[in-house]
Structure 1
Amino acid sequence: MAYWSWGNPRAGHVVVCVHGLSRQGRDFDVVAQAMVQRAGDAVRVVCPDVVGRGRSDWLRDPQGYAVPTYVGDMLAMLGQLHQEAPVTDLSWLGTSMGGLVGLGVAGTPGLPLPAPVRRLVLNDVGPTIQWQAIQRIGEYLGKTGRFETVQQAADAMWQISTSFGPHTPEQWLALSGPMVKPHPEGGLTLHYDPAIAVPLRALTKEAAEQGQAAVWALYDAVTARTLLLRGAHSDLLSRDTALEMTGRGPRATLIEFMGVGHAPTLVAPDQVDATATFLLAP
């Protein structure tokens, strides 16, 4: 598993940033740089490419593309980081799937963490996920395509990503560059293993609903201070679920961003400020 590292590699405060289902660790470039600018040598920001994505290897068995696998990978990564330099203060920022991985890490007692998760940011995700959003994502997931240029790929990705909210052409191109890699037959293709779609396609509405109780149990076990970010027009995290999350478990603080659906990209200044301020708080 590859990861991107920002800031002081010896800093005791480590912020782990984990991306969404079909994304990769460079999604956090802007917010990572903002945290380093604010905290200087006091922070290290680590942004993994979850297995099957970005620079990380692909799995032989697609059924391994699941949250328990990712939690195990994160524990291994944290163990390695702790060997390199002691991790004394651990924070977590997870967008969509990365938030579910964060719940697995922060909400499972007895895991061999180098330090407890003290601050948890869940970006547009909760224990109850709207089925229509799963269906929408399933319509495009696994179709990695072939493109002549990064701009062509960026334009194609924008067609399925307008819910991310307003972006300048420059911002969207910066987000899109790391999303492609060379295609074996020339041109470019999306960065991820198409087989990450296999478990999602096998998921039924009944199975998804049955899994919600387990995720709520993880959420209720979280002891970290928790910030919940939500796109005001999100089709994945309903407002009812978000409000329920403010009243149980770690009683998350909720911030909603107008004009945004699923999911805020943490590029806009207000999104960056809210996230960085929370994650760097004493």
Structure 2
Amino acid sequence: MGGAESSTIRTRSMKPSTVISKISRSIGARSSRGDDDVLSAVAKVGPEAEVDWSGQFNRPLAPSDHYQHYMPPNMPMCPTYQDNYVKECNRSWKIICKAATPKMKSYNKDGIVLFYDEFFHRLFQRDPGFEDIFPGIRRRIEVLIKAMKFLLNDSGAPEATAIERCRNLGHRHRSIPKVKPHHFAAYASTFVEVAMFWLDIEATPDVGEAWSNLVGFNLKYMLQSYLYNIVNESDWNQNTIQLNKEGRSPSIIKLKGAVKAEMKKQSITLSGTKKDLKEK
């Protein structure tokens, strides 16, 4: 699968995952044709093989300034791993799958359909580049469910094991075409945003704390392995590096208002670089 050598693949028959089971129980007979496409894709996700991501990760890791830069700004700077966070996320995800909140009930649709529609609508609106990574419904729902399965099946696992799992998964993403470093933060932050949106009255501060820490923790250690030696410092939508007098230790300058102004002025896409700006 492209992860650490110690990761193994088990091809024995397995029981349906907790996540997929929750989704399956939410499926009813009140869907439109487009909704049926989503539900059909959900039914096909059940994997025949499962990867053991918990093997020891022995590869180099990215420096802290790189992976910290790519963490979402709306998540904790130092996310923590706690078993009660995993349990809370499992509980609230079950609510979403059952469409059990007042906001979801008003649409009279399956929970996974509502979540899928809102999530990918916001994700593609935020970064159209995701449409190249997820060109079809089946691929989109497959990745979404597998991501949830990875997150929520951690219950009871030691923190050290969770870290190894995340690093192995992050390294696996290095082999996925068209994935860029900034995609991780967009995907993760959009997920938490949509989860809180649909949880409605269930979206308490404790629930937000659980999701932000659990997703942020997983993302941090995925980025450590994913970003090693692949950060392109010339990309304007990443970091601008300014060397000090000795020409060594770089100081990171995050582009905020200046980037937005330049975007408006130059009318470039999210994949634009400094080179593109000069050519224009």
TM beyond 0.5: no
Larger RCO (alpha carbons 8 Å, 6+ apart): 2
User: TM-score scaled by structure 2?
Assistant: 0.26
* Larger strand percent: 1
